[in-house]
Structure 1
């Protein structure tokens, strides 16, 4: 898979949460250890793909309007196992601390998928969302890609699917 394919996979991972991103990124790190891609291209591709997914989520929520975006967020939260009370509190926090939350939730499994939808619901500044999210995504991605790479290099006999768990 070329860097463009990694970006496409990151977009899909962001929009269709079937495979946890940490598993995807550990597998990418394992591929990097095998010499499939250079590290800078991997991080850049994954970040670009994830941010395109964020922008798509933002656009969908913004286009749906307040009622439609709220319904989408509530359904997404239930699907992800999050309480609606928790979600509503986070939406209110997001209204006042967009950059900090956009950065911080990128480091939190599951919740990271909802940030662009909250931003779209609130019609937040998409540039600020993307800049803060990019910083968080880079940290998240680098950690898990690095873990996959380190495990593959230092524990080559370990099964890759075990590393992703």
Structure 2
């Protein structure tokens, strides 16, 4: 298989680390496609699978800290203005950024953890965390846990599919569809919970 990703992977674990770091800065190709590919082609045994998990999680954390430091430097107002102007070019609509910022204000650790499991949002969650001056250690801890969950799921799926005659593009498309469905159901659940809470407050109020 040819292309930029296999070429970078020819550098071994250093290439894996670079892909995991850069993917957090600009998600092209999406992380679940990259992780699936790694699990299918770069993990001959469980030992290598664990090593790939450690390297990709480290890269993900460093990529998130890049956005955290940028958001902290910009501040809340300038970060939101930057997202409003350029967010569409990196798949980050202003509405998604504002929702993330609101979630941070309610529960920073939980928002950081949940955001790690949402495509696109997981790439740029550090901007909001840094702009709102959240403590870096809780942010890093939540990012670590979320990255372990996300990366291990797709690496393991790819590992289970290794050696088979699978078309990576078609498999990746099916995974994208599944992730989008899960994401939609997740946000619908949050919306239902919020509406139900407001209804209960209105009744008791």
Q: TM-score range by the shorter chain?
A: 0.7 to 0.9
Root-mean-square deviation (CA, aligned residues, Å) is 2.1
State the partner residue of 1:101.
111
Runs of 5+ unmatched residues, structure 2: 1-8, 174-205
CA contact (8 A) 1:25 1:144 kept: yes
CA distance in 2, matches of 1:26, 1:70: 33
SS of match in other structure, 1:127 = helix
State the partner residue of 1:157.
165
CA distance in 1, matches of 2:52, 2:153: 13
CA-CA distance at 1:78 after TM superposition: 3.1
CA-CA distance at 1:77 after TM superposition: 4.3
Which structure 2 residues correspond to residues 10-29 of structure 1 after superposition, within 5 A? 10-29=20-39
Q: Deviations over 1:111-144 (max 9, x none)?
A: 1122111101101111111101110110000000
Runs of 5+ unmatched residues, structure 1: none
Which structure 2 residues correspond to residues 68-147 of structure 1 after superposition, within 5 A? 68-75=78-85, 77-79=87-89, 80=91, 82=93, 84-147=94-157
Which of 38, 47, 52 is 2:57 aligned to?
47
Q: Deviations over 1:88-132 (max 9, x none)?
A: 233122122110011111111111122111101101111111101
CA distance in 2, matches of 1:31, 1:86: 34
How many pairs were matched up?
A: 162
Query: Could you state the TM-score of these two structures normalised by the residue count of structure 1?
Result: 0.87
Query: Could you state the TM-score of these two structures normalised by the residue count of structure 2?
Result: 0.72
CA distance in 2, matches of 1:71, 1:4: 35
Q: Which has the higher contact order (CA 8 A, sep 6+)?
A: 1
Identify the range of structure 1 (43-52 vs 72-81) with the bigger mean alpha-carbon deviation. Answer: 72-81
